[in-house]
Structure 1
Amino acid sequence: METSDDMEQRAKMLRAETETLLQSPDFIRSPVMSQLLRYLVEEAISNPNNPPKAYQVAVDGLGRTDDFDVQTDSYPRVQVGRLRKMLAAYYAARGTAERLRIPIGHYAVELQTGGITAEGKTGSATPIDDGLFLSLPAEKGLKRWLSHRPATYGLAALVFLGAVGLLWFLNSDRQDIFSTANASDYILPPKIYIERPQRAQMGPDKEKTNELELFFEDAFASSSQVRLAVADRPGGAFEETDGENAYLFKSELVAGQTGPRVKFSLTSLMQDENIWSSIVTLPDSPDDYPEKLGPLAGRIASIYGVISTDQRKHLPDDAMIGYACLLRFENYRSHREPDLLSVVESCIEKSLAADPLDSRILAAASFMAYLREEATGRKPDPKAGFQFARRAMVLGREDASANFALARSSFFNGNCARGKEFAEKAVELAPYEATVQAQTGAYLFGCNDPDATKYLRRAIALDPRGSIVAETALVLSLLEEGKNREALEFAEKIVPSSTGVGPYYDIAMAAVYASNSRNEESQTSWDRLVELYGKENDESAEQLLNRLIINPDLADRVFVLLSQTGVISDEQARK
């Protein structure tokens, strides 16, 4: 039986470990998970033998209304499951002896120290494997690891050494860099609040409202562009905070001629203005929400969505660290403007100095390491790209960008099967992010994988106006299949003013016009591409395409097509 001193010591240890967790990047980016963790820890301290039930977690921990129905709504179970995964990923990266854990099937938080929990239960000092942990290869085994799964004890030993080396990196002199960097300049993604109806609706409307809210909470929680926030007071009502870098998302059921409709709106709290609204037909079943409402969620909170576009519009010139750097990085990744290269490289370096544990910045650094010599003036560094991707994965196992960083490493090393595995995990983690779908489809296209078209079409469905990478690859994919006419009909529907067009529109149009014997129009598109994105020096057409298209197979296919049709002259090809 615990004495009062034991209970006091246990409470101190629980709160100390909680505060450490809440200072980590993943929890800072997730106010909902932070609030839930605080609630469960305080319950573990005040009621150690009486853990909260699902209803208490929903109402007291997550701010649901008093009429919450645990029989029809799995919200608390889903959110606690997400918290359990975040804890597992955090400790997998650090290997600390003391750790918080939430046993499967319970809402009780336990403090594990070594092999024994603070509650006196025997536990494993190794984190429970929920499928969250990455097998780390030794550096010399890069190509073999990318091609095959570890299968021997000898390789397992190398895996262990790799993990030890990473932990040394995370806890050594890089922490001195962190302490000297100006971490106060580190910008986090804006918050998004979901306003719940202040007056409980009756009957089916109430159930539909809850289903809509749960869908968008899950959708926004999967976005890298926002931090899902909780209502400011219990019961779900929202109190505005003047000048906060945040957005308020509202939904309201309204009557329609053929059935119920939903009116959505998004308000910028910083600008105190409505920046987006839409009215759509309410899908018949929640099972239809991902297909019917997923594009709307992506329109709001994707990399080129309403919120990130608004953030770019108001981004200060000197904002360079954290989320601000990611905004600049995505601009460069899409447009490949040479003037942005040094800015992005500098802001990534500054961001890693301020927070070397940010998996999204590490993923961006991995991308930059793979850029071709035509873009940077230096040779690609696959070794550095892989190391950045591996660190990103260890620190952000549930981060789509980290998973895709490892997918990219595999694709670049010619392992399409391994690349597809990580890319599909990224798609699962960010189901409404058109860019992830588009990149997955583009790389699979380069691998001649028949699933490429599925992802490319999904990217276009999620963002018909902004998936230029997907549209380009889909046009070329149709051309590869000999569907020249279909490719042309699709290409002519592309809106050239789309967000993030960059050079891809002209590349697609030059190729599709050439394939349909419309060489004059193909030549116009090619000349415009050279004028806007070509360098003043003697850069050949092949070098230009390799600089603009990071997928080498895709770049080669476009070059061959345009050369064979005469759009690229012999002189341009020989430069």
Structure 2
Amino acid sequence: MSAATENLADYATEVKGEVDRVLADVVFRRAPIQSRLLQFLLKKALEGGAPPSQYEIAVDGLGKSSDYDIETDSYPRVQISRLRRNLDNYYARNQPAHGLRLTVDPGVYRLGLAKADHDAPDRGDRSASAAPERDRVDALRELSLPTGANRVLVYLAALAFVAALAFGTWKIATTGPDTRVTRPTTALLIDTGFDSVPTTAAQRGLDISKQIAEIQLSNSFVSKPLAIGREPTEADYVLKLNFGMGLMESGSLFLVFTEREGDVLYSNEIVFDPDNPEDFASELEASLVYLTSPIGAIAETELAEVSDPMNSPYTCFLTIESGRSSGAETSQMVDACLEAFPQSDYRSFWYARRAFSAYQERVVAGEPISKSGEAWADVRRAFDADRFNAFANFIAAKVELAEGNCEQALDYVNRALERGSSYPVLVAGMEANAASCRGDEEADAAMANRIRTLARYNPNPDPLLHLYLVIALLGSGDRATAEQIARRSMIANPEGPIEESSDLLRRALEDRRIARSNAERISDMVFLFVWNRRTTDQIMQTLTG
């Protein structure tokens, strides 16, 4: 067998094995469109020849009709973009089997393999003894890297993006026009599957499911329920709850979330035990949070279509939430959105987010957290716009808790959790802060269980959610679960306080020596996010004890 043939055989074995490993991941098991797309790209890569076109991806790969028009619909580009992000998320948590990760490079819709960034060697320093491995990797890369011209275009586009950020223009260049300026609608369909009058247990399961689904859809910041009297076919998304055989004495709820065209974005099966309905309710709520949160499935799908963040208050909101770990850039975006849309329904949210940044600056400067100054003035502005806004109540609760006012904080806490049920970061952050006021074992256990369930249904938490999940569990004394969740986020080159804090906590949980030798630094880091010395001490005791 020739060297070239061996390389091709190696490529087929490597890429198929890596695809199988990726498809086994929980994120891809719950994303049927993404799994189907990855399998199609694998098939095309193994066939060789030219990479698939957008039309082929849409029609042959994703099942669109033969009259599909790529000029007016960016669906395949959206799915490819989402696949790249999901692959990046996967490799942030998992090492590739043989140092080669899957890639779908910009401008080339062909699946390939490339050295993982964190152990890519310097090509100029390779010795002659490394030549066989170099030749093999280069042969694999030829099927995935863009041409030199395309590399230049990608480089120039990156420079343009950085320049836009530097000058505060915040123009995000994507293909296709904006298709959304207001919140999309979601229809709720419930199929009981009951052949006769349901049993008491089945009716209870149905009532719980309907109540939770309606609350989550109503509380979502990124979508709104379809108006009464409208047909489900008019909705942008459809949430289907199917009770299978009718939940006689026990059974399962089948949850399917689709786009208007019927493409499945998410599916899940939740077991219903009539003797333990609390677990069923908790799992259903967490699953719906994954769909309806500001960084969830709906937000991700909508954001992929945005070419100008300043197009509307809604696109402003999506962009701010997707970049919330970006520090100064996010603050600039908040100011720009408030200036452009001063009467927006999202202004309460933006004032509260600006207050949060101002209070963090106080922490860094060593100043006390109190109900004073421009930060608290922004909280008041947020309440003037909407006194029930979840994030405004979250900030107010944090300030009261920082001052040790547990009783005064309680109303804010409850309001934040009630209206922010579709926002996992807010829920985790609120639970972490409120830990200092708890002494009830049952309440602590319920909080820890809620955080564990949230973590289970957010398998790819962004750095901020990851950080709050870990902090909340440590605050409740659950170090074991905190360790498990901490391992889900492997940040190769952490940048900024959120990523650096998330990464240091993970390493401290893996090795108590790291926790103890960095105790002062970790304590300061935790305090930056909880603003409460009592909670910080509880977290550090669990971490280092």
Alpha-carbon contact 1:283-1:292 (below 8 Å) kept: no
State how far apart, in whole Å, the 1-side matches of 2:207 and 2:444 are: 35
* 2:246 is the counterpart of 1:260: no
* 2:542 is the counterpart of 1:545: no
Query: What is the aligned partner in structure 2 of residue 459 from structure 1?
Result: 451
Question: Map of 1:127-146 to 2, 5 A cutoff?
Answer: none
Query: What is the aligned partner in structure 2 of residue 424 from structure 1?
Result: 414
Alpha-carbon contact 2:360-2:529 (below 8 Å) kept: no
Once the two structures are TM-superposed, the CA of residue 391 in structure 1 deviates from its matched residue by: 3.5
Once the two structures are TM-superposed, the CA of residue 249 in structure 1 deviates from its matched residue by: 0.8
Query: What is the aligned partner in structure 2 of residue 324 from structure 1?
Result: 315
State how far apart, in whole Å, the 2-side matches of 1:186 and 1:341 are: 23
Once the two structures are TM-superposed, the CA of residue 375 in structure 1 deviates from its matched residue by: 7.4
Once the two structures are TM-superposed, the CA of residue 423 in structure 1 deviates from its matched residue by: 1.0
* 2:431 is the counterpart of 1:434: no
Q: 1:447 to 1:283 in 2, by over 3 A?
A: closer
- Out of 186, 191, 196, the residue aligned to residue 192 of structure 1 is 186
Query: What is the aligned partner in structure 1 of residue 291 from structure 2?
Result: 300
Q: 1:495 to 1:337 in 2, by over 3 A?
A: farther
Structural RMSD (CA): 4.8
Show CA shifts across 1:382-438 (max 9, x none).
Answer: 422323323333443443233223213323445343223311232233445432331
State how far apart, in whole Å, the 2-side matches of 1:398 and 1:354 are: 17
Query: What is the aligned partner in structure 2 of residue 359 from structure 1?
Result: 348
Question: Map of 1:47-446 to 2, 5 A cutoff?
Answer: 187-197=181-191, 202-204=196-198, 212-230=209-227, 232-233=229-230, 237-240=231-234, 246-255=236-245, 259-269=250-260, 273-284=263-274, 288=278, 290-319=281-310, 321-333=312-324, 335-351=325-341, 353-355=342-344, 358-372=347-361, 382-431=372-421, 433-445=423-435
Alpha-carbon contact 2:189-2:238 (below 8 Å) kept: yes
Once the two structures are TM-superposed, the CA of residue 263 in structure 1 deviates from its matched residue by: 1.9
Gaps (5+ residues) in structure 2? Answer: 1-177
Question: Map of 1:465-480 to 2, 5 A cutoff?
Answer: 465=458, 466=461, 467-474=465-472, 476-477=474-475
Alpha-carbon contact 1:321-1:348 (below 8 Å) kept: no
State how far apart, in whole Å, the 1-side matches of 2:271 and 2:444 are: 30
State how far apart, in whole Å, the 2-side matches of 1:541 and 1:452 are: 27
Query: What is the aligned partner in structure 1 of residue 117 from structure 2?
Result: none
Show CA shifts across 1:96-134 (max 9, x none).
Answer: xxxxxxxxxxxxxxxxxxxxxxxxxxxxxxxxxxxxxxx
Once the two structures are TM-superposed, the CA of residue 238 in structure 1 deviates from its matched residue by: 2.3
Gaps (5+ residues) in structure 1? Answer: 1-183, 527-539, 566-575
State how far apart, in whole Å, the 2-side matches of 1:285 and 1:397 are: 38
Once the two structures are TM-superposed, the CA of residue 266 in structure 1 deviates from its matched residue by: 1.0
Alpha-carbon contact 1:476-1:508 (below 8 Å) kept: no
TM value normalised by structure 1: 0.49
Once the two structures are TM-superposed, the CA of residue 216 in structure 1 deviates from its matched residue by: 1.2
Alpha-carbon contact 2:183-2:224 (below 8 Å) kept: yes
Q: 1:307 to 1:554 in 2, by over 3 A?
A: farther
How many residue pairs get aligned? The number is: 348
Query: What is the aligned partner in structure 2 of residue 506 from structure 1?
Result: 503
State how far apart, in whole Å, the 1-side matches of 2:366 and 2:335 are: 13
Residue type of the alignment partner of 2:213 = F
SS in 1 for 2:391: helix
